[in-house]
């Protein structure tokens, strides 16, 4: 005996398969940064957050700066753990530099 939730889920799955087979679904978006290293992704995202924080209202700017600082910390730790301490020392200044 199927519950209402199970029946709904099964109906949605059947509908999805029907639309997929008919070619009615858009292709899945590419959410990866293929070809970019983790370091490059962290650097780019932190830099983008710092840039957005410059033009945001104070509460939003504080939130963006906290997110950027967390990514920056992850990047510095990653660089230091992989033996790139000199690069880790300069990365914060480069992230926060004006574009």
**Averages of pLDDT over each 10 residues, the chain, 99 residues:** 79 88 76 72 93 92 94 93 89 79
Count of domains for the chain: 1
Q: Is 43 a domain residue?
A: yes
Write 21-28 long-range contacts (CB < 8 A, 24+).
none
Number of H helices, E strands in the chain: 4, 0
Q: Is residue 6 part of a domain?
A: no
Q: Which of 48, 42, 36 is nearest to 73 (CA)?
A: 42
Q: Write out the residue range of the structural domain in which residue 87 sits.
A: 38-96
Q: How far apart are CA 35 and CA 60, in angstroms?
A: 31
What does the pLDDT read at residue 29? 63
Whole-number pLDDT of residue 96: 80
In a domain, 68, yes or no: yes
Q: Is residue 75 a part of any domain in this protein?
A: yes
Q: Is residue 44 one of the residues assigned to a domain? A: yes
Asked if the structure places residue 26 within a domain, the reply is no
Instruction: Give residue for tokens 């059947």.
Output: 14
Backbone angles phi, psi at 43, to 5 degrees: -60, -50
Look at residue 76 and tell me if it is in a domain.
Answer: yes
pLDDT at 72: 93
Alpha carbon distance 77, 41 (integer Å): 14
């Amino acid at each position: 005996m199927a519950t209402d939730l199970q029946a709904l889920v099964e109906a949605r799955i059947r509908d999805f398969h029907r639309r997929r087979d008919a070619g009615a679904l858009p292709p899945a978006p590419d959410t990866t940064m293929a070809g970019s290293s983790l370091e490059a992704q962290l650097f780019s995202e932190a830099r983008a957050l710092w840039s957005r924080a410059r033009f945001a209202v104070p509460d939003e700017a504080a939130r963006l700066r906290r997110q950027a600082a967390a990514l920056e910390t992850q990047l510095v730790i990653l660089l230091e753990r992989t033996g790139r301490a000199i690069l880790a020392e300069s990365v914060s200044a480069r992230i926060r530099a004006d574009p």
